[in-house]
Amino acid sequence: NAGVTQTPKFRVLKTGQSMTLLCAQDMNHEYMYWYRQDPGMGLRLIHYSVGEGTTAKGEVPDGYNVSRLKKQNFLLGLESAAPSQTSVYFCASTEYGGAETEAFFGQGTRLTVV
């Protein structure tokens, strides 16, 4: 059972470079999320999607863009990476948006911007 898969697992970028993080889920979940995790902090929501073709801003959306062209994939883009975006990024999905639904997380992408 693959669940939620993130690629790549590690990446080092130079300031100003762009990249896309891919999240794929095979559970037919409607909702998908991108979080960032920084040392000593909880997870903060960047963007989320409530279904194919939809996206919405979370708590810390600046500097990121997302797309959900296919239900199973949720892409997170950095157009011009900054050192402040050095973080561990987690993708998650839920079957639907109810409060009782379990969130399934990917293993994370460790991004360093130098």
Partner 1 sequence: GEDVEQSLFLSVREGDSSVINCTYTDSSSTYLYWYKQEPGAGLQLLTYIFSNMDMKQDQRLTVLLNKKDKHLSLRIADTQTGDSAIYFCAESKGGGADGLTFGKGTHLIIQP
Closer residue to partner 1 in complex, CB, 40/69: 40
d(CA 21, CA 26): 17
Contact status: 7 vs partner 1 (CB under 8 A): no
d(CA 108, CA 52): 22
Contact status: 45 vs partner 1 (CB under 8 A): yes
> Among 22, 27, 50, 60, which residue interacts with partner 1 (rule: CB under 8 A)?
50
| Close Cβ partners of 67 (under 8 Å, ≥ 6 residues apart) | 55, 74, 75, 77
Closer residue to partner 1 in complex, CB, 33/64: 33
Question: Which residue, among 93, 33, 37, has the nearest Cα to 57 in the 3D structure?
Answer: 33
Scanning residues 52 to 91, which ones bind partner 1 (CB under 8 A)? 56, 58, 90
Of 19-27, 37-45, 62-70, 74-82: span binding partner 1 (CB under 8 A): 37-45
Handedness of CA 28, 29, 34, 38 (dihedral sign): negative
d(CA 38, CA 111): 11
Contact status: 22 vs partner 1 (CB under 8 A): no
Residues that bind partner 1 (CB under 8 A): 4, 31, 33, 35, 40-45, 48, 50, 56, 58, 90, 92, 94, 96-103, 105-108
